[in-house]
Amino acid sequence: MRAITRYAWAVLAVNLLVVSWGAFVRATGSGAGCGRHWPTCNGELVPRDPATATMIEFGHRLSSGLALVLVVGLVVAAVRALPRRSAGRRAAWASLALVVLEALVGAGLVLYGWVAKDASAARGWVMAIHLTNTFLLLGALALAAAWSARPGGLALERGGLAAILAAALGGVLLAGVTGAIAALGDTLYPATSFAAGLAEELSGDGRLLLRLRLLHPFAAISAGALALLAARAAVRARPSEDVRRAAAALAGLVAAEIVAGAANALLLAPVWLQLAHLALADLLWIALVLLAAAALAPGYAFSAAETIPFASSRIRARCASSRNDSA
């Protein structure tokens, strides 16, 4: 494995930890630990005699700064090691833009007070934007790592397969957004029991965040079904080792995520399970991105039937036979 590839995977791993630490900040209500100060913490570069919430928030800021430095290093490595117009270099530059945007969104949350017990609608919208940007950042880092090892890019002309992969990516992203809103509701309005929480969600005059929380299970199940459908279509269309490996990982993560989500609801969202649930969602997203990258990679001769996920086996066999005859 090339040095830049090892480094890129390490940068992705660090960012996953930073994302989990950020969720810990939200779940423990520590987002106001540094007050409405950024980049300083309570007006100081290094807080003195900090409270627990301050240490948690300040630790997240330090880890976020480290992630930014590492992504800058990834761009430098990509510029030195990869061709000028390579897909890997473009993914590294995209990662840098997204990690800067991630920092700005985090700063906005602090400066506008959309942290701790704030229950404004604006916070919900910003949380959705934050989650979307986080997923895009993790996806860009995963692509930078994958494409640093081999020539990359996407052959989007494979219409049928590209469409179902895009639908799966959109579904998982939507499930993540609804999950972020549900997690915020769990933090602000913790339920005393599963039945009481469900009653609040179904109440027509209940809090908006709690009523929105009900959307997440349906979005998650739909996203899981789309992801499995995409995995099946990708394996049938391009049965390479990379595609099979990514599809198997995706299937396992979908199953684990559904179990974790159900447990999270039944156990009233303990902090440790919220973190595990988010980590699985991040890994599922990364697996789906890598599946799409492997399935749509250039350099594979697709027939028209193979780009259609539900073409019959007879049509596929005929296509394979004609391809072998021409070879």
pLDDT confidence of residue 49: 82
pLDDT band for position 300 (50/70/90)?
Answer: low
pLDDT confidence of residue 301: 46
Check residue 44 and report its DSSP letter.
B
pLDDT confidence of residue 158: 64
Judged by average pLDDT, the poorest of 45-54, 178-187, 209-218 is: 209-218
State the amino acid at position 132 in one-letter form: T
Where in the chain are the domains?
A: 1-151, 154-327
Spell out a b/e string for 132-141, using b for 16 or more CB atoms within 10 Å of the CB, else e.
bbbbbbbbbb
Distance CA 16, CA 31 (A): 19
Q: Does position 105 have pLDDT exceeding 90, yes or no?
A: yes
pLDDT band for position 320 (50/70/90)?
Answer: very low
pLDDT per position as a tens digit, 143-161 = 999 999 888 888 876 668 9
pLDDT confidence of residue 312: 45
List Cα–Cα distances, 209 to 92, 142, 203, 272, in angstroms: 36, 32, 12, 21
pLDDT per position as a tens digit, 63-91 = 999 999 999 999 999 999 999 989 999 99
Residue 187 CA, chain-centre distance (Å), reads: 20
Other residues' Cβ atoms within 10 Å of the Cβ of residue 63: 18
- Rounded to the nearest integer, the mean pLDDT of the chain is 89
Distance CA 100, CA 54 (A): 23
Distance CA 79, CA 86 (A): 10
pLDDT confidence of residue 156: 77
* 34-58 mean pLDDT: 92
pLDDT confidence of residue 256: 97
**Can you say whether the dihedral through the CA atoms of 303, 310, 254, 192 is positive or negative?**
positive
Judged by average pLDDT, the poorest of 87-91, 236-240, 245-249, 254-258 is: 236-240
pLDDT confidence of residue 154: 86
pLDDT confidence of residue 322: 43
Q: Which helix or strand (DSSP H or E) is residue 65 part of? A: helix 52-81
**Cα angle: 189, vertex 26, 266; to 5 degrees:** 50
